[in-house]
A and B are shown apart, each in its own frame.
Chain A
Amino acid sequence: MNSIASILALSVDAQTVPAVLFYLFAGISAASALGVVLSRNIVRTAVCLLFTLVGVAGLYFLLESEFLAAVQLVVYVGGTLILIVFGVMLTSKSPFSRFEPKAGEVVVAIAACIILFAALVMAIRSADFRPQTLDTTQKYPVVALGQALLGDYLVPFELASVVLLVVMIGAAYLAKSRKRDDKRAVARGAATLSQKARQWS
């Protein structure tokens, strides 16, 4: 952290660097999230989402959660987002086809979201979390995380692995294109195979 701070701004104090970095990542995230909402092109939306996710990964770094940041980058950016882009590619007749919401819907949605956001902010401000000053000496070693996952959280961990397996099978089944004459094709194939076997023998 200090090294990054020294590279970016040598003169600033220890508290300023994280603040600058926070605003940087937060700005990237927030702007990209807004871009996700506002962009009408699905491909551009995907790109904006990419930047949001990267910004969030940066915030994880600021929060001393390096492993999580790495997972965010690898899984989200490298996995999920690629998946989404593939989805876009597979389902879109033209990558620039767009569907516009109605104006009334837009107004209602924005009004509701403004109210919600205002309410959230007010709630956050009025809540007393008694935040401590950051203890920079506090580290979150990956070893401890691994111990926690295979210790206290073993059952959820294993359940998650089962969920992943189920999802893998389910997704593969769902995405499979169904053909009515599958069985007939199999039968035909078997017939040819047995014919060949007879020829050979």
Chain B
Amino acid sequence: MTVAVLLLIATLLPLLSFAILAFVGKRMGNPLAGIVGTFFISASFVCSLAAMIVWLSLDVAEGRAFGFGGQPILKTYDWLPGGLQIGIYVDSLTVVMFSMITLVAALVHVFSLGYMADDRRFPRFYTYLGLFSFSMLALVLSGTLLQLFIFWELVGLCSYLLIGFWYEKKTASNAAIKAFVTNRIGDVGFIIGLGLLFCHLGNATFPGIWGSLGNAGMAQSGQVLILPMVQGSAGAAELSGSLQKAEPQFTRFPHVTTTMLTLMGIALFCGAIGKSAQFPLHVWLPDAMEGPTPVSALIHAATMVAAGVYLVGRIFPILTPDAKLFIAIIGCVTMTIAALIAMAQTDIKRVLAYSTLSQLGLMILAMGIGSWVGGLFHLITHAFFKALLFLGAGNVIHAAHHEQELTEFGGLWRKIPYTAITFGVAVFAIAGVGVTVGDTMIGFAGYFSKDLILHHAGAFAWLATKEGGHTAYWLFFWLPTIVAYLTAFYMTRCWMLTFAGRPRNQKLYDRARETPVMYIPLAVLSVLSVIGGTALGARQMIESAAKETNNYFDPRLRPPAVANPTAKVAQPAHFAGFSTAWQNAGAYAHGDTSTIASDAYRLGERSLKYVSFAFVVGIGLGILVYSKGLTIPNALLRVPPLRWLNIWLYRAMYFDEMYAGVVVACTMALATVAAVVDRYVIDALVNLSARVVRRGAVLARLCDQFVLDRAVSATAEMVQEIGAAARAPQTGRIRTYVTALMVAVALSLAGAIIVVLSTTGR
């Protein structure tokens, strides 16, 4: 519980920083606002670190091996009555993510003190950073999928604000809008997935979802699953006991087909496609490099874009094999095309952006083929060295006065040696430099995580084909292998062009210099890039988290849920091995000692020999080609096929142009159709109704004119005439009145006398 409180404090500190800076940041001015923001995020990091230490000491107290961590903590509160809950879920993954995020964020805060020093909106920058840190931490801490979605959108907003931070630049504001809109496309899928999940489960917590849908992972196509009742925290034992007497309290449809589950998984994964910039929606991330470089390091390399991988990790138990296949394919495609494009880019930040895409694709692929540990472990190590790369690039850009073209650099290691060294460390880390001697692995951080993924990929491919699956499953191994070579090559190219050789722009070279406050974070990150793979217990903690999560789907820990045998349908032959492979590929690592698991492990290990020396080849080739600056590559590019390839890759395979063409053309065509419909159908209807109304109005007018108006006028005239008649005698002349009076009196008197005379008989 102490851990949960510490993590909650760590989450709320950046929010406090945001609130303070939002209100008085502008008054604090240039250095002070940054120092305040840095102080709060550092405090948050201290809290996270304390939480991690407490968490690790828990298992020691409980008599287990170091690195396992405590039991997962789930704390929920009813937000709205009727099952809408919010809460926090803490397991080892959460703790590790917290430490990673707060550390990178703190270092980026420090780095920005130097990098953003001259900016007019310096306090606002720190305000946004505070809000982003809070959102990201809260996302990781979320206990339910709905809550995760809320903070998911909030980090999207921060990303938008920070990409468009220099909104005076047209490209920056366009990039911000592009990122936001592209993310919305993915989020539509996320919302659909959320809706499906709500429909079947209500707003369940993560363990609740896993408990009820966890057997999806081993379900065969076409099966019907019977959902158990979902309650606050459903443990495995409690779940199996309650399976028979399940009451559909939150479950509106107790039966769910695997097709529905597949759809749900793919829909939720759409959110990850948008946020982690996977293949169809990857176009926003390179453009997001228009934002300040520290932002690129924090948001668009280390943390936010990795949230998609985190999401896949959280929904992993409910993914069906079909959905996982889809995820694996998407990851694989992204990884490959991004690595190819990165080879031809000349903007240093774009090289890093495509490198990020490639690595994110690798993580997604790892999740797709079932390497839960590999994917998330690579997330952590990648965060360290990619943040390092971006901050190093930021240092270069800052030193070069905002010049980003690799062709303008060269020989900078003499001017900014610390940056050159740390950048080189990061290149080694991402290239996966390391060797295995016997059972001991020595190397940089990327070596361990990549090794884990590729090992799993080899075992997976072997198992999948062994069961009669399609040979194409081997692509899931061979493509990452090729990409490992490519990665080593293009990262070396980047370093060589920047730091080695002779200066290509003497003026730029002369002015370049380093700022101390900016290479302190680089030093810290480079240390982590070296030891991140072995020390810190990151891998062990992720493995323990995997065990917690896998409780809900590992077939050896639970009896299978009640499957409907009649609904079993024949599977296509090429698919046959996939689910088995998926189940068993990582089994050995999880302690399974059965024959098939150990065979798979050994085969995966054997296949590693194809990739073990990728870094040697890649780095060597890179040094060879770029040893004399741009001379050799320029010579190579005179060969027409290579030149065309280079142009094709340089333009990022024309994705932007294709989208512009297709989307805009489709929109225009749709608009034309709509215009035609509008003009000839809707307008006609409107005109018709207008004409009818007009005719009616004419009739009404005639009626008005000749009946009503006449009546009214006649009344008025009558009244007027009566009035005139009544007015006529009222001359205002006193003599007229007297005369009238007298005439009246005389006439009445005369009349009276005549009557009297006639009655008296005279």
- Report A-B touching, CB under 8 Å: yes
Could you tell me which A residues sit within 8 Å of B by CB distance?
Answer: 101, 105, 108-109, 112-113, 115-116, 118-120, 122-123, 126
Q: Can you give 27 contacting A-B residue pairs, CB < 8 Å?
A: A101-B735, A105-B735, A105-B739, A108-B739, A108-B743, A109-B739, A109-B742, A112-B739, A112-B742, A112-B743, A112-B746, A113-B746, A115-B747, A115-B749, A115-B750, A116-B742, A116-B745, A116-B746, A116-B749, A118-B750, A119-B746, A119-B749, A119-B750, A119-B753, A120-B749, A122-B753, A123-B753
Q: Across the interface, name the chain A residue whose C-beta is closest to B754.
A: A119
Chain B 726-748 per-residue mask, 1 if CB under 8 angstroms from chain A, else 0? 00000000010001001101110
Contact with A along B206-232 (1 / 0, CB 8 A): 000000000000000000000000000
Query: Which of B745, B746, B747, B749 has the most chain A CB within a 10 Å cutoff?
Result: B746
CB distance from A90 to the nearest CB of B (A): 20
**Nearest CB to that of B753 among chain A residues?**
A119
Q: Which residues of A contact B747 (CB under 8 A)?
A: 112, 115
CA gap between A60 and B364 in the complex, in Å: 141
Which residue of chain B has its CB nearest to the CB of A118?
B750
Name B700-755 residues within 8 Å CB distance of A. Answer: 735, 739, 742-743, 745-747, 749-750, 753
In the complex, how many angstroms separate the beta carbon of A119 from the nearest chain B beta carbon?
A: 4
Q: List the B side residues contacting A101 at CB < 8 Å.
A: 735
Per the bound structure, the CA–CA distance linking A5 and B743 in Å amounts to 43
Question: B-side interface residues toward A, CB under 8 Å?
Answer: 735, 739, 742-743, 745-747, 749-750, 753, 756
Q: Are A113 and B735 in contact (CB under 8 A)?
A: no
A101 to B739, CA, bound (A): 12
Across the A-B interface, the 8 shortest Cβ-Cβ residue pairs: A119-B749, A115-B746, A116-B746, A112-B746, A112-B743, A112-B742, A115-B750, A119-B753
Nearest-neighbour CB distance to chain B for A102, whole angstroms, equals 10
Please, which residues of chain B bring their CB within 8 A of the CB of A120? 749
- When distances are taken between beta carbons in the complex, the residues of chain A under 8 Å from B735 are 101, 105
A119 — which chain B residues lie within 8 A by C-beta? 746, 749-750, 753
Q: What residues on A are CB-neighbors of B746 within 8 Å?
A: 112-113, 115-116, 119
Taken together as a complex, chains A and B put the C-alpha atoms of A118 and B745 apart, in Å, by 13
Alpha-carbon gap, A118 to B407, bound state (A): 138
CB-CB nearest in chain A for B752:
A119
- Alpha-carbon separation in the docked complex, A29 to B331 (Å): 139
Q: Which of B735, B745, B749, B756 has the most CB of A within 10 A?
A: B749
Bound form: Cα–Cα A108–B750 in Å: 15
Q: Which residue from chain A places its CB closest to the CB of B762 in the assembled complex?
A: A126
A40 to chain B minimum Cβ distance, whole angstroms, is 16
When chains A and B are docked, how far (Å) is the Cα of A17 from the Cα of B753?
36
**How far apart are B554's CB and chain A's nearest CB, in angstroms?**
112
B733 and chain A: residue at smallest CB distance = A105
| Residues of the A chain whose Cβ atoms lie less than 8 Å from the Cβ of B756 | 126
Contacts of B745 in A (CB 8 A): 116
Give the CA-CA distance A109 to B737 in the complex, in Å.
12
C-alpha spacing A120/B750, complex, angstroms: 9
Q: Chain B nearest CB: distance from A99 CB in Å?
A: 11
Bound complex: CA A119 to CA B743 (Å): 13
Instruction: Report how far A120 CA is from B743 CA in the complex, Å.
Output: 14
A105's nearest neighbour on chain B, judged by CB, is: B739
Residues of B within 8 A of A116 (CB): 742, 745-746, 749
Give Cα A122 to B756, complex, Å.
11
Q: How far is the CA of A105 from the CA of B742 in the complex (A)?
A: 12
B745 to chain A: closest residue by CB: A116
- Complex: how many Å from CA A115 to CA B744? 11
User: How many Å lie between the Cα of A109 and that of B742 in the bound state?
Assistant: 8
C-alpha gap A115/B743 in the complex (Å): 9
Nearest-CB distance from B618 to chain A (Å)? 112
User: What separation, in Å, do the CA atoms of A112 and B742 have in the docked complex?
Assistant: 7
Q: How distant is A121 from chain B, measured CB to nearest CB, in Å?
A: 10
Q: How far is the CB of A109 from chain B (nearest CB, A)?
A: 6
Residue of chain B at shortest CB distance from A120: B749
* Bound: A119/B751 CA distance, A: 10
A113-B753 in contact (CB<8A) = no
In angstroms, how far is the closest chain A Cβ from the Cβ of B732?
Answer: 15
Q: Known A-B contacts: A101-B735, A112-B742, A118-B750. Give 19 more (CB < 8 A).
A: A105-B735, A105-B739, A108-B739, A112-B739, A112-B743, A112-B746, A113-B742, A113-B746, A115-B746, A115-B747, A115-B749, A115-B750, A116-B745, A116-B749, A119-B746, A119-B750, A120-B749, A122-B753, A123-B753
* C-alpha gap A101/B734 in the complex (Å): 13
- Chain A residues in 8 Å Cβ range of B749: 115-116, 119-120, 123
CA A62 to CA B683, docked complex, whole Å: 109
Q: How far is the CA of A165 from the CA of B745 in the complex (A)?
A: 35
A105: B residues at CB distance < 8 A: 735, 739
- Nearest CB in chain A to that of B749: its residue: A119
Contacts of A123 in B (CB 8 A): 749, 753
Contacts of B753 in A (CB 8 A): 119, 122-123
Q: Which residues of B contact A115 (CB under 8 A)?
A: 746-747, 749-750
Q: How long is the Cα–Cα vector from A146 to B687 in the complex, in angstroms?
A: 103
CA distance A109 to B739 in the complex (A): 6
B188 to chain A, nearest CB (A): 85
Chain B contacts for A113, CB-based, 8 A: 742, 746
Minimal Cβ-Cβ distance residue in B for A123: B753
Contacts of A126 in B (CB 8 A): 756
* Candidate in A108, A112, A123 with the most chain B CB atoms within 10 angstroms: A112
* Cα-based distance from A55 to B735 in the complex (angstroms): 28
| Chain A: CB-nearest residue to B748 | A119
Alpha-carbon distance A177/B756, docked complex (angstroms)? 55
Q: What A residues does B739 contact at CB under 8 A?
A: 105, 108-109, 112
B742: which A residues are within 8 A, CB to CB? 109, 112-113, 116
Output the nearest chain B residue to A101 by Cβ-Cβ distance.
Answer: B735
CA distance A95 to B468 in the complex (A): 145
User: Most chain-B Cβ atoms within 10 A of its Cβ — which of A113, A116, A118, A120?
Assistant: A116
B51 CB to closest chain A CB (Å) equals 94
**Considering residues A105, A109, A119, A126, which has the most beta carbons from chain B within 10 angstroms of its beta carbon?**
A119
Residue of B nearest to A122 (CB): B753
Report chain B residues within 8 Å CB of A112: 739, 742-743, 746-747
Chain B nearest CB, measured from A143 CB (Å): 41
Chain B hits for A118, CB < 8 A:
750
- Least CB distance from B15 to A in Å reads 78
Contacts of B750 in A (CB 8 A): 115, 118-119
CA distance A122 to B745 in the complex (A): 15
CB nearest to B741 among chain A residues? A112
Q: How far is the CB of A118 from chain B (nearest CB, A)?
A: 8
Bound CA–CA A149/B303 (angstroms)? 124
A68 to B739 Cα, complex, angstroms: 32
- Nearest chain-A residue to B736 (Cβ)? A105
